[in-house]
């Protein structure tokens, strides 16, 4: 499908869970928590769902970069990214860094 505009995905925080993986899964599968599939034709691929979280919020097509003076936000995975695409789940997160500070580290 040709892009008309660039979209980003987001969580429902602060009104819902702040888990981006919980937002990516239904975008890619269109499956609800109860297992029902809604509007299957609107599903996007897992790679596209992940990419929609990687861009800048103000410019979704612009990937965030790790560089001096940058935000310092980083998600460290415990498996290679291609494996995450088969199972979009927070269980693969080994650490989360926000503004250069480790805010989560799996023990």
Task: Read off the pLDDT of residues 46-82 as tens digits, 9 standing for 90 and up.
Answer: 999 988 888 877 777 788 888 898 888 899 999 998 9
Q: Phi and psi for 65 in degrees, rounded to 5?
A: -125, 155
At 91 the pLDDT is 95
Domain that residue 87 falls in: 20-105
| 69 within some domain | yes
Tell whether the model's pLDDT for residue 20 goes beyond 60: yes
Q: Please state, in angstroms and rounded to a whole number, the distance separating the CA atoms of residues 55 and 12.
A: 17
| 83 within some domain | yes
| 9 within some domain | no
| 57 within some domain | yes
| 77 within some domain | yes
Tell whether the model's pLDDT for residue 1 goes beyond 60: no
Q: Please state, in angstroms and rounded to a whole number, the distance separating the CA atoms of residues 87 and 85.
A: 5
At 37 the pLDDT is 95
Q: Are the C-beta atoms of residues 13 and 19 closer than 8 Å to each other?
A: no
| 15 within some domain | no
Global pTM reads: 0.78
| 76 within some domain | yes
| Residue 67 vs residues 62, 70, 74: alpha-carbon distances, Å | 14, 5, 11
- Count structural domains, the chain: 1
| 4 within some domain | no
| pLDDT tens readout for residues 83-101 | 999 999 999 999 999 999 9
At 66 the pLDDT is 86
At 3 the pLDDT is 60
Exposure string (b/e) for 54-84, b if CB count within 10 Å is 16 or more? ebeeeebeeeeeeeeeeeeeebeeeeeeeeb
Q: Phi and psi for 60 in degrees, rounded to 5?
A: -55, -25
């Amino acid at each position: 499908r040709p892009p008309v505009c660039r979209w980003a995905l987001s969580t429902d925080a602060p009104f819902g869970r702040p888990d981006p993986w919980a937002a990516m899964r239904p975008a890619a599968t269109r499956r609800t928590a109860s297992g029902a599939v809604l509007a299957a034709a609107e599903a996007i691929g897992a790679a596209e769902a992940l990419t929609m979280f990687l861009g800048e919020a103000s410019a979704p097509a612009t990937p965030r970069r790790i560089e001096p003076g940058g935000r310092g936000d980083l998600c460290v995975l415990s498996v290679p990214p291609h494996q995450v695409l088969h199972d979009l789940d927070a269980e693969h997160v080994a650490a989360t860094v926000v503004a250069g500070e480790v805010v989560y580290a799996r023990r």
